[in-house]
């Protein structure tokens, strides 16, 4: 009976490992497909001109839309302040934050001047099959290497990106700290912070079109 129990425990661990590996492979495939599409956009010389910046951002947004859960990310950026506003305000912030995240990500990638990329091998196995981490190494024209770390979550509609580290910088945490700081400076007025964030994004859009 003791040997049977040990065998069952071992079998459970093996099956859990197989499930985790399969989950990582699925998450990896999602990242790989999005990265390949992103690379084609970044290689398009016609989109590198300053006057094409809005078109470039639009192309990148089209790639990110199916694989990023912007509502999930924006909720965590708002953190404890999320439930202090109504559904309409939550959706407004989700929309403007999406634009912020897309532009920040696009600016980071174009700044690296990427010439190629490679998906890194799986690291430490995730203890939760529906949460996986996929790292991508990118290489610049100058021979420099950077790392993008994608935090992926399995949802009903497939694997979604819910956070990213850009060469060690945690984008979601940075935005969360920024949001929290703005709330502090407005004496807890979350609705005002959302309005200010929206205005800032609109101002950036206007400046981009004028340049």
Torsion of CA 156, 85, 205, 72, to 10 degrees: -20
pLDDT band at 209; cut points 50, 70, 90: low
Q: Is the dihedral of CA 110, 178, 159, 60 positive or negative?
A: negative
Does residue 46 contact residue 52 with C-beta atoms inside 8 Å? Answer: yes
Task: Report, at the CATH architecture level, how domain 2-210 is classified.
Answer: Roll (3.10)
Assign 204 a pLDDT band (cuts: 50, 70, 90). Answer: low
User: For residue range 12-29, what is the model confidence (pLDDT) as tens digits?
Assistant: 444 444 444 689 999 999
Residue 118: CB atoms within 10 A of its CB come to 13
What are the residue ranges of helices labelled H in 65-153?
Answer: 70-78, 87-112
| Closest residue by Cα to residue 103 from 184, 203, 11 | 203
CA 71, distance to chain mean position in Å, is: 12
Q: 193: buried, middle or exposed (CB in 10 Å: 19+, 13-18, 0-12)? A: buried
Parse the chain into domains and list their residue ranges.
Answer: 2-210
Q: Residues 80-92: pLDDT tens digits? A: 999 999 999 999 9
């Amino acid at each position: 009976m003791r040997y049977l129990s040990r065998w069952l425990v071992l079998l459970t661990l093996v099956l859990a490992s197989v499930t985790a590996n399969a989950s990582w492979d699925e998450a990896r495939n999602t990242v790989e497909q999005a990265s390949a599409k992103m690379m084609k956009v970044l290689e398009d010389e016609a989109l590198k001109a300053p006057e094409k910046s809005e078109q470039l951002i639009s192309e990148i947004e089209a790639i990110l839309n199916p694989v990023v859960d912007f509502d999930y990310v924006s909720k965590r950026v708002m953190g404890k302040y999320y439930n202090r506003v109504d559904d309409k305000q939550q959706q407004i912030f989700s929309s403007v934050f999406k634009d912020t995240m897309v532009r920040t990500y696009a600016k980071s990638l174009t700044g690296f001047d990427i010439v190629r990329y490679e998906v890194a091998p799986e690291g430490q196995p995730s203890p939760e099959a529906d949460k996986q981490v996929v790292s991508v190494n990118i290489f610049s024209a100058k021979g420099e290497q950077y790392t993008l770390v994608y935090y992926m979550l399995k949802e009903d509609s497939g694997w979604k990106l819910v956070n990213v580290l850009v060469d060690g910088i945690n984008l979601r945490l940075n935005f969360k700290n920024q949001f929290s700081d703005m709330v502090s400076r407005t004496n807890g007025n979350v609705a005002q912070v959302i309005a200010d964030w929206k205005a800032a994004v609109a101002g950036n859009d206007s400046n981009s079109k004028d340049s």
